[in-house]
Structure 1
Amino acid sequence: MNVVADAAVQMLVDAVRDAADRRQPLRIVGGGTKDFYGGALRGEPLDVRPLAGISAYEPTELVVTVRAGTPLVELEVALAEQGQCLPFEPPHYAEGSTVGGMVAAGLAGPARAAVGGVRDYVLGATIINGRGEILSFGGQVMKNVAGYDISRALAGSMGQLGVVCEVSLKVLPVAPGRVTLRFDMDQANALRHVNEWAGQPLPLSASAWWDGALILRLQGAQAAVAAAARRLGGETIAHGLAEGFWTGLRDQHDEYFDQVEAAVAAGSRLWRLSVAATAPRIELRGEQLIEWGGAQRWLISDEPPGRVRDAAADALGHATVWRGDKTGGAFHPLPPVQARLQRALKDAFDPLQLFNPGRLGDTP
């Protein structure tokens, strides 16, 4: 990646160096579609959207290099023209999502349990650190990854390690076969079935359970998908309706999430619980939606935060306040050793604590 001589990058470098001289915290700005996620928004805005465009794309090599301010939809259209995609299905939430925000947030959509997350597809990155230095990590092929992979550590860092300028991503061909099935069953049976099916040679790519219905997506070679659909049974959902459902689930525009605004106004919270896929039903007051074969559970509830986090920990996971009152922090407290490692990494890349103070719940 060659961004060192780029005028847009130089403007960002100058802005970071000026902020460092003034000890002025910076808030890295893209499309703003994930401003609700995490902790407080603080600092002088640093807009990366002028740094946009696809720098290089080799469809035969399944690699694309793209600048951080590039609209996510622009990248997805370019990939679709070549019959390829970002298999982890990054959420948009609203118009304006950028590639840099996708990496910084590290969020994935319905296919996460089947294909991995954002960090699994980041091959390399160029960033500006807190000293205004341009640093590059990784490369454009998987074999270049060795030792501690800083480029992948950027995924989910919420911009606290530096200003992402450009990333190289692994992409995959769009699967030729795709079928969505519906089954009527309660939560306990849905969890049991998805865990049993996950251990079998089936082309499962996504699942979602809510309000007595389990929705299952099969994806892969057409023959394998057709055979799996015959074996599993259930009701086949029409393609257009199914695609609308999975997109709505990815971007949180479906019926379950339509309830959230009114629930939050009434004092509830929307929680995201990341737990062991095999964990049984979590006994908490409120309405649950389950994804990722049981590993991701959404909860709309007025339960006290401590009770929700204790329940998530009992299920070998953690809980995040997604929407609603974040008094006490959005994220589950880290174990002491992990917290020290995270702080040490932050200090190494941003010693003056310039970037996105408070987004991960730390003290600005």
Structure 2
Amino acid sequence: MDPVLAELADRIRAAGAQGTPLRIRGGGTKDFHGERLEGEPLETRGLHGVVNYEPSELVVTVRAGTPLAELEQVLAERGQCLPFEPPHFAQGATVGGMVAAGLSGPARASVGAVRDYILGLNLVNGRGEELVFGGQVMKNVAGYDVSRLMAGAMGTLGLITEVSLKVLPIAPAEATLRFRIPQDEALKRLNAWGGQPLPLNASCWGPDDGGVLYLRLRGAVAAVEAACRSLGGERLDTGGAATEWNACRDQRTAWFAQAGGRDLWRLSVPQVAPVLDLPEPPLVEWHGAQRWVRVDAAQGRHVRQQALAAGGHATLFRTARSDAHDRMTPLAPPLAAIHEQLKLQFDPHRIFNRGRLYPNL
């Protein structure tokens, strides 16, 4: 076993024997996310480097502590990318953190989520055992797909040490269009465009100036140019637009900066959900499926009720309040029982990221 990995496994076994909680940590860029942080840090940055990269096969295997920016640079040099555009939020984001958080960027509604690109991974469980799941091809799963189970588990099931990912070529053409329209009209158009053969890739509507919709197109040159002609709108400079899309991905735009100490809620709802009764107009992404809203603490319950009524759920994504709880939508009893059993199988001593995903896990 690799010396760094062996040392981590020894620490895990010792923690299990003593019942000492461990907090898995890569770059720490998502420490704000989840219920709470508890335990001694278990650093993954020593697990560094690209293990194998086959550009012709569109597959890369990388160690969990590798900086996400480093992996993206390696892929870009061969004209490839992680199409789901994982958020960084700050410098130092790692590949393992990307998988554990399970968060995707602006293109998620069009290309899929992090979990859809995981081919396999290596994991150290709560007993200090190294487990290998999946592989390096798409059709390699028989039975329970444990690899993708780790996406969004927030490190509560084990220490991810290595991940194999499917990658894709960078699209040959890209364009961003701007439309000055209110939220209801933006949702109506996005739903209509979704039923047409258009190279839609990302969208973002914000309430500034009465409402502005940004629509990103990606694909073949002919397809993008034809869509620009048929959709209308104002075409923006591609370079400047790319900077803004990245800023939106990492929550660095003016809208996020103007939270003013209020709580930031993330609503995940069906794309066809109508305008919701929220304390303020939201920022709308993913063709209507992801909506961000900034509210006072007392308004959080109403926000969650609106998401549930629309057939979705709501997460308290960022808050400055140390007493905040139930940031994730509580699970229904049958789902809670499944989570409990999974936790016991992978982490019988309950040492990994206690309370990070749900208070009792």
TM-score bracket, normalised by the shorter chain, equals: over 0.9
Supply the distance in 1 between the matched residues of 2:335 and 2:271 (Cα, whole angstroms). Answer: 22
CA drift of 1:296 comes to 0.1
| SS at 2:244 equivalent | helix
Task: Verify: 1:180 aligned to 2:176, yes or no.
Answer: yes
Tell me if structure 2 keeps the 8 A contact 1:125–1:167: yes
CA drift of 1:255 comes to 1.2
Letter of the aligned partner of 2:69 in structure 1?
V
| SS at 2:36 equivalent | coil
Pick from 308, 313, 317 the counterpart of residue 312 of structure 2.
317
Task: Verify: 1:295 aligned to 2:289, yes or no.
Answer: yes
1:276 is matched with 270
Supply the distance in 2 between the matched residues of 1:131 and 1:246 (Cα, whole angstroms). Answer: 42
| SS at 1:125 equivalent | strand
CA drift of 1:294 comes to 0.3
1:333 is matched with 330
- Within-5 A mapping of 1:235-314: 235-260=234-259, 262=260, 264=261, 268-302=262-296, 303-314=298-309
TM-score, normalised on structure 2? 0.97
CA drift of 1:146 comes to 2.2
Supply the distance in 1 between the matched residues of 2:358 and 2:13 (Cα, whole angstroms). Answer: 25
Supply the distance in 1 between the matched residues of 2:172 and 2:110 (Cα, whole angstroms). Answer: 16
Supply the distance in 2 between the matched residues of 1:327 and 1:6 (Cα, whole angstroms). Answer: 40
Letter of the aligned partner of 1:358 in structure 2?
G
CA drift of 1:282 comes to 0.6
1:197 is matched with 193
- Within-5 A mapping of 1:24-35: 24-35=20-31
Cα offsets for 1:237-264 (capped at 9, x unmatched): 001210011000001101111112x2x2
Letter of the aligned partner of 1:338 in structure 2?
L
RMSD: 0.9
| SS at 1:156 equivalent | coil
CA drift of 1:207 comes to 0.2
CA drift of 1:21 comes to 1.3
CA drift of 1:201 comes to 0.5
1:357 is matched with 354
Tell me if structure 1 keeps the 8 A contact 2:205–2:213: yes
Tell me if structure 2 keeps the 8 A contact 1:273–1:318: yes
CA drift of 1:346 comes to 1.0
* 5+ long unaligned stretches in structure 2: none
1:225 is matched with 224
Supply the distance in 2 between the matched residues of 1:328 and 1:73 (Cα, whole angstroms). Answer: 32
2:74 is matched with 78
Supply the distance in 2 between the matched residues of 1:72 and 1:129 (Cα, whole angstroms). Answer: 23
Supply the distance in 2 between the matched residues of 1:362 and 1:348 (Cα, whole angstroms). Answer: 18
| SS at 2:272 equivalent | coil
Query: Aligned residues: percent identity?
Result: 57
Supply the distance in 1 between the matched residues of 2:162 and 2:119 (Cα, whole angstroms). Answer: 11
CA drift of 1:221 comes to 0.4
| SS at 2:154 equivalent | coil
Supply the distance in 1 between the matched residues of 2:62 and 2:141 (Cα, whole angstroms). Answer: 19
Letter of the aligned partner of 2:316 in structure 1?
V
Supply the distance in 2 between the matched residues of 1:332 and 1:23 (Cα, whole angstroms). Answer: 28
1:14 is matched with 10
The size of the alignment, in residue pairs, is: 355
Task: Verify: 1:144 aligned to 2:140, yes or no.
Answer: yes
Supply the distance in 2 between the matched residues of 1:124 and 1:362 (Cα, whole angstroms). Answer: 28
TM-score, normalised on structure 1? 0.96
Supply the distance in 2 between the matched residues of 1:24 and 1:351 (Cα, whole angstroms). Answer: 12
| SS at 1:28 equivalent | strand
Pick from 43, 46, 51 the counterpart of residue 47 of structure 1.
43
CA drift of 1:363 comes to 2.2
| SS at 2:358 equivalent | coil
Tell me if structure 1 keeps the 8 A contact 2:121–2:161: yes
- Within-5 A mapping of 1:23-172: 23-172=19-168
| SS at 2:282 equivalent | strand
Tell me if structure 2 keeps the 8 A contact 1:158–1:359: yes
Cα offsets for 1:141-188 (capped at 9, x unmatched): 001122110000000000011000000000000000100000010000
| SS at 2:139 equivalent | helix
